Amino acid sequence: MADVTTIKVKKQTAEKMKKGFPLIEKAAVLTNIEMEEGSILSVTDEAGVFIGKGYYGKQNKGIGWILTNNQSESIDRLFFVNRLQAAINRRRSFYQDAETTTFRVFNGEGDGVGGLTIDYYDGYYVCTWYSEGIYHFRRDIYEALKEVVSFKGVYEKKRFAGKGQYVEDDDFVMGERGEFPLLVKENGMNVAIYLNDGPMVGVFLDQRDVRKKIRDTYAKGKNVLNTFSYTGAFSVAAALGGAKHTTSVDLAKRSLAKTIEQFSVNSIDYEAQDIIVMDVFQYFKFAKKKEKSFDVVILDPPSFARSKKHTFSAAKDYTGLLQEAIAITRKNGVIVASTNCSTFSMEKFHGFIKDAFKKEKSSYEIVEEYSLPDDFRTSKSYREGDYLKVVFVKVK
């Protein structure tokens, strides 16, 4: 049995943890002990009363996660077998959906193991590790995965160099190597996926429901602008929904070829669409100058981004981004305002929207809202895990 290090946490944090809060926050720890990543921790309150058992692994503001409230439970292969099996049982309906062959199988603390996510891509699994601490348990977890599912192959992404950055390495783990692009389906839409090409694979699975809504309800006959477009998945969804025209804008040079590919695997003529490599803020200026306007504007920026001329922080700059969008959205048009920033709430996001329209002297109506889809299971005790906020805003 692995050695267990006992640490004490401050009273206020202890009370949160007793209600299920799983993150071991660095600032809350009273015990000053040198620990190695992957060390097993027993967490107690100031009086020494047991709260939970977990592991040491630096991730954002935390130094680890509580995994169990059972003091006698071992963190071993069987532990991970039980957690993985429970997660898979919750997602049986996804495995049975022929129209969607990619989804999240295991969502970190929402499924009981903070620091690890596992995604499914038509027979292939991708494990993403967010700290060296959780990566310490990889052998047990991969053995557990072998026990609970059959697979074509398994890949991994290591996101623990510096501030959650990707660790360059061969991502293949076991099974058979895939041939890429791998074509998966999302609500019937084809998506080209690369499991062996850096930290991101070609689509953000958490936006599946939003893309479907744009395709089914908002796209038909409309002129659609997709900003921070990455590989153009929103644009493809809009085109499949009958959009009159789509414009995809992203600063990354590789977005051009990637977006062409996503249109092509869906038998859409990419030459009939606009795919532009440009800083989004520069594009807003260009669009205003050319008096361009759109029926639907999709805003899905990263939480933080830096270009030669702009630094964007969702927490500080989203109001300004919305103002730019309002200026080129037609009357009765819709802005799909999205953020994956976990540091502010949906209530505060509504405040950004209100401020932007007030500054632009324009009125609006909130039509609908989305958060994470069902496969991205979250814990009610850990609000930060429910990070996605999407608001459909009609410009009046």
Judge if 14 and 144 occupy the same domain: no
Sign of CA dihedral 387, 215, 274, 201: positive
Q: Fill in the DSSP letter of residue 83.
A: H
Rg of the chain taking only CA atoms, in angstroms: 22
> Is 199 within a domain?
no
> Is 193 within a domain?
no
Domain range for residue 88? 77-187
Judge if 288 and 376 occupy the same domain: yes
Judge if 37 and 90 occupy the same domain: no
Q: What's 353's domain CATH number?
A: 3.40.50.150
From residue 277, alpha-carbon distances to 211, 253, 262, 285, 325 in Å are 22, 6, 16, 14, 18
Q: What's 95's domain CATH number?
A: 3.30.750.80
pTM above 0.95, yes or no: yes
| Closest CA relative to residue 71, chosen from 165, 156, 132, 1 | 1
| Pairing mode, strands 274-277 and 182-186 | unpaired
Judge if 305 and 378 occupy the same domain: yes
> Is 255 within a domain?
yes
What's the number of domains the chain is made of? 3
Judge if 13 and 103 occupy the same domain: no
Contact 41, 28 (CB under 8 A): no
- The rounded distance, in Å, linking the Cα atoms of 246 and 249 is 10
What is the chain's pLDDT, residue by residue, as a tens digit (396 residues)? Answer: 578 999 999 999 999 999 999 999 999 999 988 899 999 999 999 999 999 999 999 998 899 999 999 999 999 999 999 999 999 999 999 999 999 999 999 999 999 999 999 999 999 999 999 999 999 999 999 999 999 999 999 999 999 976 667 888 889 999 999 999 999 999 999 999 999 988 999 999 999 999 999 999 999 999 999 999 999 999 999 999 999 999 999 999 999 999 999 999 999 999 999 999 999 999 999 999 999 999 999 999 999 988 777 889 999 999 999 999 999 999 999 999 999 999 999 999 999 999 999 999 999 999 999 999 999 999 999 999 999 999 999 999
